[in-house]
Chains A and B, each alone.
Chain A
Amino acid sequence: AFFWLVSLLLSSLVWFIAVKASDPRDERLQKGLLIFGVMFSVLLQEVFRFLYYKLLRKAIEGLVALSEDGCSPISIQQMAYGPGGSRGGMSGAFSMINLLADALGPGTVGIHGDSQLYFLTSAFMTMVLIFLHTFWGILFFHGCEHRRWWEITAVVVMHLAVSGSTFCNPLYVGSLVPSYLLMATAAAWAYLLSGGSAQNLRRFLLCK
């Protein structure tokens, strides 16, 4: 979560400078800058995820060196879960909390011609993002562990795609549907990577 915050900080710093340095009246330029800001932020987040992975790796090495039987008490997969989840939580909280606070107050949604489904879609989008961050964490760490660069690039590309799809808002079909599809894909992939399989799933569902 902290690392996510730091990446957010740096990316907003960059955006802020860019905005201040540019003409505030030019609508298209602002939009373009915003898009640039978003992309940059996504890339920075992934960079920080990588840095965090490195840090965790070192921590695990330390733990392994210390432990008596050469096994680390926590596996890197478990470790991936934690930060991924907290990162997702943090980004979700940041996205939603002001909205929620405002939702408590008086007002009508979409009174100025914006979509009336604003709150609903925001909620779904945030949920999707939280899940995605968790799955990406697992995928990313797995890719780093086994040195499969394509996994890592897939995560980055997915992240960019999801953020990019939100540019279609308020045409919600364009953003929510692909995001959910991507999430399903990521979920399945992460599940398989974590050792699950169709059999496990069936057994679990049938409560064997």
Chain B
Amino acid sequence: MITFMNNSDSEEEPCNERTSLMSAESPPVPSYQDGLQASEAGEAQGHRRRTGSSRSPNNIADGEVSDSAVPVRERALENEEEELTLKYGAKHVIMLFVPVTLCMIVVVATIKSVRFYTEKNGQLIYTPFSEDTPSVGQRLLNSVLNTIIMISVIVVMTVFLVVLYKYRCYKFIHGWLILSSLMLLFLFTYIYLGEVLKTYNVAMDYPTLFLVIWNFGAVGMICIHWKGPLQLQQAYLIMISALMALVFIKYLPEWSAWVILGAISIYDLMAVLCPKGPLRMLVETAQERNEPIFPALIYSSAMMWTVAMAKSDTAARGPSQQTWDAAEDGRENHRTTSHADSQMSETRSPVPTRPITSFEELEEEERGVKLGLGDFIFYSVLVGKAAATASGDWNTTLACFVAILIGLCLTLLLLAVFKKALPALPISITFGLVFYFSTDNLVRPFMDTLASHQLYI
């Protein structure tokens, strides 16, 4: 039951110079799995029971303290829950590791092989200040200004989205999201495919290209915004995050990228944890209305086995914030089908034989871990930038990768402890940044010297 709430940052659709079409993607939206779980399931009772036990199985101190304090009966119950939590928690961690790793692999592979994404070819309009300045101070200033502009754009969009959500302008959001995912799926895929083909010098005629892209895009739209097999949805989400990350890596100038990464994690922290933060307000509003919060921007690793597949609540959704479809479905469906669900889940769920009620089984099935797509994107941006700019060194990339995964683990642990919406970016990005800079500057000369003398440590 490790639920994961992450700040999914924006699918900021940059306006690159190839198109003057500016479709702004949604700004950072957190996906609050906790809220999601509570509202979706309607197995709120089970949920409350779990939230009642405030220990995390992984937190040793808690375990030791509560051992003595808690009465035996409750403790047995809690133990069972905790063990369940732990077991599924570990599984969920793995379930998140795989997609994050996949996304990063795609990004790094592309960066290392396709020249296009490392060439400097202009900048986004969101980062107007150039970094080609003669002095270091000027460059720093420009990058800070760029960051300020970018972050304010993101904040504005988030607030706009929250306002829209509050005033129930679902259709507008719906349309916005469809537009942005259309652009991502078609335009960016076209560019990506073109560059890859160029790199490997493979000829492809336009009709074939059109066919391929049309199929890819159409299936993607359907999978993401409507119904589709879970794995396909997950695959599409990963691909989309990778594409987005590649765009960021290409169009963000170097220092700006690092400063933006740092600033975004701070913003994430504040937006999610401060009482007046937009993201927190979003969660609370959604919880009041008992609706799932933006399932669209979330990668989910598990799904509720209902008759209507791809239900809004837990299914993985597209990058666009178009959940209103889903939310509306969800709201209508989940009351009526919750009984069906529990029965379905009993028969279909692959949950192993444990002496738990169907309620809990359903909960387990539903409580796949969820991670916001923005998190995927920014993790991949970090690793991709490391691959692109760290003097071609694989060690740095590897170090950043491990750092991010460990950060993710820690965040999941914290989630299990606190059981509420948490930002996913800060810890991982901090680790990643620290490791990037230190590995690049400190470890690399050391390892290079060692390797040249063939010494091993």
Which A residues lie at the B interface, using CB under 8 A?
A: 1-2, 5, 8-9, 11-13, 15-16, 19, 34, 37-38, 41-42, 45, 58-59, 61-63, 65-68, 90-91, 93-95, 97-99, 101, 118, 121-122, 125-126, 129, 162-163, 166-167, 169-170
Given A61-B63, A169-B453, 7 other A-B contacts at CB below 8 A?
A5-B435, A38-B455, A66-B82, A67-B79, A94-B398, A95-B456, A129-B456
Q: Is the CB of B67 within 8 A of A125?
A: no
CA distance A162 to B439 in the complex (A): 24
Partner of A34, one of B60, B80, B403, B455: B455
Residues on B with C-beta less than 8 A from A37 are 446
Decide if A166 touches B82 in the complex (CB within 8 Å): no
**B69 within 8 Å of A (CB atoms):** no
Question: Would B63 and A5 count as touching, CB distance under 8 A?
Answer: no
Partner among B63, B393, B443, B453 whose Cβ is within 8 Å of the Cβ of A62: B63
B109 at the interface (CB under 8 A from A): no
A12, B442: Cβ atoms under 8 Å? yes
CA distance A169 to B450 in the complex (A): 11
> Distance in Å from the Cβ of B141 to the closest Cβ of chain A?
28
The interface on chain B, measured as residues whose beta carbon lies within 8 A of the other chain's beta carbons, has a size of 40
Q: Return chain A residues, CB-CB under 8 Å to B259.
A: none
Which of A1, A68, A170 makes the CB contact (< 8 A) with B402? A1
A111 to chain B, nearest CB (A): 14
Give, as a whole number of angstroms, the nearest-CB distance from A206 to chain B: 35
> Once the chains are docked, how many angstroms separate the CA of A132 from the CA of B91?
29
> Judging by beta carbons under 8 Å apart, are A118 and B457 in contact?
no
Interface of B is mostly: helix
Closest to A129 in B: B456
Q: Which residues of B contact A (CB under 8 A)?
A: 57-60, 63-64, 67, 76, 79-80, 82-83, 86, 392-395, 398-399, 402-403, 406, 435, 438-439, 441-443, 445-451, 453-457
Contacts of A1 in B (CB 8 A): 402
Grouping DSSP codes into helix (H, G, I), strand (E, B) and loop, the A interface class, with mixed when no group exceeds half, is helix
Nearest-CB residue, chain B, relative to A60: B60
Q: A166 contacts which of B63, B406, B454 (Cβ < 8 Å)?
A: B454
A95 to B64, CA, bound (A): 41
Q: Are B457 and A163 in contact (CB under 8 A)?
A: yes
Please measure, in the bound complex, the distance between the C-alpha atom of A52 and the C-alpha atom of B265, giving whole angstroms.
Answer: 28
- Is the CB–CB distance between A34 and B449 below 8 Å? yes
Q: Taking A5-B435, A9-B435 as contacts, is the C-beta distance between A98 and B454 under 8 angstroms?
A: no
A98 with B76: in contact, given A34-B455, A65-B67, A125-B456 (CB under 8 Å)?
no
A34 touches B453 (CB 8 A): yes
For residue B227, give the distance in angstroms from its CB to the closest CB of chain A. 37
Hey, which chain A residues are within 8 Å of B445, CB to CB? 12, 16, 19
Kindly list chain B residues whose C-beta atoms are within 8 Å of the C-beta of A41.
Answer: 457
Query: Quick one: which of A2, A19, A98 contacts B403, CB cutoff 8 A?
Result: A2
Q: Which listed residue (A9, A38, A59) contacts B457, Cβ 8 A?
A: A38
Residue of A8, A99, A163 ringed by the most chain B CB atoms within 10 A: A8
A166/B59 in contact, CB under 8 A: no
If A13-B438, A15-B446, A34-B449 touch, whether A62 touches B57 (CB-CB below 8 Å) is yes
Q: B442 — which chain A residues lie within 8 A by C-beta?
A: 9, 12-13, 16
**Residue of B58, B80, B445, B446 contacting most chain A CB atoms (<10 Å):** B446
Q: How far is the CB of A44 from chain B (nearest CB, A)?
A: 9
A12 in complex: contacting residue of B60, B402, B403, B446, CB < 8 Å: B446
Is the beta-carbon distance between B450 and A34 smaller than 8 angstroms? Answer: yes
Determine if B83 and A68 form an interchain contact, defined as CB atoms under 8 angstroms apart. yes
B457 and A98 form a contact (CB under 8 A): no
In the complex, the answer to whether A98 meets B393 with C-beta atoms within 8 Å is: yes
Q: Are B57 and A63 in contact (CB under 8 A)?
A: yes
